[in-house]
């Protein structure tokens, strides 16, 4: 399984907003920088079959109208699946209208917005979900096809997220800042990796003001930690 880190930053970072591409076909979150990052790899947009939106904060979804309109310009014919929590279809419809005065019907290809549930399947991949503790409803996701990758989205991890991430080959966790009720820290992410018996941990969405020396302390809890750069790739 190939994991491409299109962006690894938080909402206001010099890095691109966190967005992750799995096997060049499954997109996890779609912030304002995501389309330009995809284009750097010259990946045809029609190759991306599924977009998962963890929650509706701007740095995770505001790039989706541009992705859809660029897909229209590229003469996309195949449907795209867009998965997220309840209310996503109406939210995205409003966002399309606000951004470009467009509707779903204007796109010229089918948009299949689906509300996530406990377990789902798509194109040979198995998906499971668990809620995180965030300022708005937010979901983590695990993706399994021979290997298992778990992405937390934003939020403090819960017991359900520990179970979701169990035995992941790679856990991708936000690590925004300590001392918050609605975000995880670098130490929290290490503890989640240890508790879930994950093989590796990639830290994303780290606050631009955070002290990265905390990673040394985190490695005393869980050693196999990496901090990927924008446009970096990991194979698991």
Can you list the domains of the chain with their CATH numbers?
2-235 (3.60.15.10)
C-alpha count within 13 angstroms, C-beta hemisphere, residue 185: 17
Residue burial 59-78, b: 16+ Cβ < 10 Å; e: rest: bbbbbbbbbbbebeeeebee
How many residues are present in the chain? 236
Distance of CA 123 to the CA centre of its chain: 18
Asked if 74 is an active-site residue, the reply is no
In the chain, at which residue ranges do the beta strands (DSSP E only) sit? 2-7, 19-22, 26-28, 50-52, 80-84, 111-115, 119-122, 125-131, 139-145, 147-151, 170-174, 201-204, 225-226, 232-235
Structure tokens, 117: 């549930």
pLDDT tens, residue by residue, 29-82: 999 999 999 999 999 999 999 999 999 999 999 999 999 999 999 999 999 999
pLDDT of residue 119: 95
What order do you get walking across the sheet with 147-151 strand by strand? 119-122, 125-131, 139-145, 147-151, 170-174, 201-204, 225-226
Q: Which residues of the chain have pLDDT under 70?
A: none
Active-site entry in 59, 154, 188, 230: 59
Q: Which of 6, 3, 58, 71 is nearest to 32 (CA)?
A: 58
pTM of the complete model: 0.97
pLDDT at 212: 86
* Strand, helix or coil for residue 69: helix
Antiparallel, parallel or unpaired: β 50-52 and 26-28: parallel
Task: Write the CB contacts of 44 (distance below 8 Å, at least 6 apart in sequence).
Answer: 74
Whether residue 231 contacts residue 37, with contact meaning beta carbons closer than 8 Å, is answered with yes
């Amino acid at each position: 399984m190939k994991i491409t880190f299109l962006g690894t930053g938080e909402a206001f970072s010099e890095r691109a907003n966190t967005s992750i591409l799995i096997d060049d076909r499954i997109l996890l979150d779609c912030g304002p920088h995501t389309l330009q990052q995809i284009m750097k790899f010259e990946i045809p947009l029609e190759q991306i079959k599924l977009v998962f939106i963890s929650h509706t904060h701007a740095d995770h979804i505001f790039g989706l109208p541009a992705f859809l309109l660029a897909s229209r310009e590229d003469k996309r014919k195949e449907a795209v699946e867009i998965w997220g929590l309840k209310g996503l279809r109406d939210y995205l419809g409003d966002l399309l209208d606000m951004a470009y005065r467009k509707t779903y019907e204007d796109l010229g290809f089918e948009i299949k917005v689906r509300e996530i549930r406990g377990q789902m399947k798509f194109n040979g991949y198995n998906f499971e979900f668990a809620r995180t503790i965030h300022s708005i409803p937010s979901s983590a996701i695990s993706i399994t096809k021979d290997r298992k990758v778990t992405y937390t989205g934003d939020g403090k991890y819960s017991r359900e997220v520990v179970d979701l991430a169990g035995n992941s080959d790679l856990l991708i966790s936000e690590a925004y800042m300590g001392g918050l009720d609605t975000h995880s820290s670098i130490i929290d992410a290490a503890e989640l990796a240890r508790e879930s018996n994950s093989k590796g941990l990639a830290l994303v969405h780290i606050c631009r003001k955070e002290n990265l020396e905390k990673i040394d302390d985190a490695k005393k809890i869980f050693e196999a930690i990496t901090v990927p750069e924008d446009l970096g790739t990991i194979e698991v």
